[in-house]
A and B are shown apart, each in its own frame.
Chain A
């Protein structure tokens, strides 16, 4: 370790070396670790009016976590069914969005990665990126318009008499899933594209020469090779959809609540930061556990994801 640090300073010089160390340290400690620790700290405290903070009543407690699981005191039901159901539904919906994105993006990433043509591939990639210059909230509203009662899709379907009356895409949550899937498509495509691009075309041809069908080629050659990119994309899409706020807020139907919306309500409408923190911590830890277990099942190493 000592030798490593010496080499590091020899290569970068004292000034640049310390500047880089300071910046990275500042980034990790001040912007990531400390806020999360204070969030964790908040989640174990009582909800008190400001004058009583730091006073005798400001002790550590599990009351916020108990609330998520068992509901308010005196709740005869036993469990906080409403919030737990929202929590579960959010996770399932996020997993659904992840799988949908994977199904949509794998063929695109494969096509982009294995096409030899330089010029028009760059244009295709650019076409994928340009829509993301538009603000996320604007894009969500655009989806609301497209999927609205008198939106393009309903108008189109009615024009050709495929349906008689407009479909309520918002209530059916179709708009929400479409919006979320669309929002994170690039995060799924690019990690896969990067890996597939580095796959030697000869391997595909070799497999074909040995009589492999397209299914076999993908199952035995392309997908095992692309696994780091696939898991990296899935991790990001899952984490971000589970933590999305704008899209559920704008595109969600009246009956469907996203867990992040509950957190938002605790912080902003309820003013109950400890309760909100507890919800946020539970969401974060659950997502990490899910991602790690899925990685374990598919035998992906943490190091592969960085590739």
Chain B
């Protein structure tokens, strides 16, 4: 019989170890693939044009005024210095950002002796690593409800500090209700062990404007296989509820059916919103899930909305 372990709450705050692991993982990810996809996606949609003129906040360059343009574009301050008219161009700033949310509720601090590490550790590593990978690829990444999107080189450290400082996040089982813009993408890392009926409103609210997203479901092997037998009392780590099971082996059959239904409902929810669902078990290497999520993000950019559970 598998032995399970509930870790102390401290583990749910990312530390140096998680940050380092995330960086190490991020460095191993195939950046070039994403780069190539990003370039093609940019060409196809014109969404990713950066380092060129466009709508934005920051200065990009002055260019001569072309006749026929609206006169309001003339930058008079610059034009006053010589005889020609100039137009101030701003850098094109994509309003397209990736928002990450990592579930740090009590149920995440769980591991069995079949797993390589607790769920929360894997979740943080994956979340931070993907964030770093996105930044490396030129994306701007933010934390839902915590940090606005940014493209900082130190995104991992910044995120880790922000997450660690976020006490409320320890209790939240669901992502905050923060509507994203249509061009944004969401990455929700969680065990999604909440009823779909509770999760669905949040997903809908996040994607209300058409933002797309990716669900990364972290699961302990025990949570899938339920390898217990005999008499047992099951304890819920968040609700505090207990369930006495007379014969765990027999009960496990029903459990697995229920779990499959739950995941089906989850996949269905994601599909309906155009999101993707990735299942990751903690007895598998983290890079598997990271690669898949990167692929999915790239694919969604390419307009080939690939959805469904892996």
Partners in one complex: no
Residues of chain B at the chain A interface (Cβ within 8 Å): none
Residues of chain A at the chain B interface (Cβ within 8 Å): none
